[in-house]
Amino acid sequence: MSLGIDYVEWVVSKDKSTYDEIFHTLYPVSAKKEMVRSQLPHTVLGKIWKPADMDQDGPLSGEEFTLDNHLIKAKLVGRELSPHLILPSKWRYK
């Protein structure tokens, strides 16, 4: 058995280190306040928060924050939100 066969890279992996740096500077500012700075409508931000907060615990982990920022960036350039984004830690391997 070879580990890594059929491994698929997470779509936002290339930007994760950038978002990690931002995430670690947020305290005491929350991720939610950082989202509002994007000036996207609150209805759009709500649609972004739901897939980003996969465990629905309220605060975002670093991985969740990365997805959150990826989705904000996509909306700011006019792309539609993709419903199939799943965090790597939530992937289920067969």
DSSP output for 28-88: TS-HHHHHHTT---HHHHHHHHHHHSTT--SSPPHHHHHHHHHHHHHHHTTPPPPTT---G
Would you say the pTM of this structure is higher than 0.75?
A: no
Task: List, for residues 15-58, the tens digit of each pLDDT value.
Answer: 889 999 988 888 666 788 888 999 999 999 988 888 888 888 88
